[in-house]
Amino acid sequence: MKLSLGPILYFWNRDAVFEFYQRAADSPVDIVYLGEVVCSKRRALRPEDWIQIAEQLEAAGKEAVLSTMTLIEAESELGVMRRISDNNRFMVEANDMGAVNMLAGRARFVAGPNINTYNAGTLAMLAAAGARRWVMPVELDRNTLKALQAARPAGMETEVFAFGRLPLAFSARCFTARAHNLPKDECGFRCGDYADGMLLSTQEDQAFLVLNGIQTQSAETYNLITVLPEMKALAVDVARISPQSQGTFEVIDIFRAAADGTLDLALARTHLEPYVPNGPCNGHWHGRAGMVWVE
C-alpha cells in the first residue's frame, strides 16, 4: 500500500512550508499533494513556488500532485485553478466540480475527498472525465467503500484519508476572523497564529471542533491505522496522512511500518498517541458518529 501526504490545510509561513517539504522528500511517502486548498488569501507561496517544490519532490522519487481550491468564490481564484489545470506536467487534484470540468478530457487527474463521490455512477463519470484516482469522502464507511470498489472502473486507484483532523465543512465566512471580531476581508491572517487550527470547546470544556479559516475540522484526529488490513482487503491503493505542525514524519514512519507488517497494529496505535492531542476517532469508517472511537 502506498502512503500519501495530503496538502497542508493550515496557514504556515513560507520558511516552514519549504522546510516541511524538504523533510517530505526524505520520508517514505510515495505521493505528495501541494498547494492551497482552503483560502486564496493565504499567499505565502506563489504558484511558481509550488511548481519548484513539485520538481524537487519528483527528483526525490515522489509523485507530486497540485491541488486546487475547494471553494471557488472569485474570478481570481478561478484564474489560479486554471493555471494549475494548465500546468501540463504534474497531476492535479480536483477539489470541486469546476476543476473536474476544467480538466475533463484534457488530463488525467485525482478526484479529491471534497468531491461527493457517493455512488458507482459518479465514479464512472469521473473515470470517463479522466480521473486516475479518487479519494473517498471522509464521511463514508467501509461498507460503502466495498460497494464502490466492486464497481470501480478499470485503471482507477482508490485513496482513503487515514490520519489527521477531518475536514468537515467549508463556508464563505471565515470563522477564525469572526472569533477575533474581524471582517473576512480584513482578517489580518489571524489563522497564521494557529499552526493546527483554533480549537473550539463546549461550555463543559470538551474539545468539539477546530476552526481553520473558512474550514471546520474535527477536534479529534481520524486514525485508521488499526484497520489497515481491512483497507488492503478492500484493495485500497493509497492511505493519506494529513500534515500537522508537529509529528507528521513520525506518523508517516509509524504508518509505513504498520502497512509493511513490521510493527504490530496495537503497538502502532500506542505510538501514535502523542500525535492525537484531543484523542482519536474512527467512527465514520464503522458507520458510526464520526467523532467516536470504535475498538
Within 13 Å of residue 107, how many CA atoms lie on the same side as its CB? 22
Burial 13-32 (b: 16+ CB within 10 A, else e): eeeebbebbeebbebebbbb
Distance CA 289, CA 283 (A): 5
Whether the CA torsion 20, 23, 29, 34 is positive or negative: it is positive
| Beta carbons within 8 Å of 61's beta carbon, 6+ residues apart | none
CA 56 to chain centroid = 21
Distance CA 157, CA 224 (A): 19
Helix (H), strand (E), coil (C) string for 185-235: HHCCCHHHHCCCCEEEECCCCCEEEEEECCEEEEEEEEECHHHHHHHHHCC
Residue 281 assigned as binding residue: no
Binding positions for [4Fe-4S] cluster: 39, 174, 187, 191
Binding positions: 39, 174, 187, 191
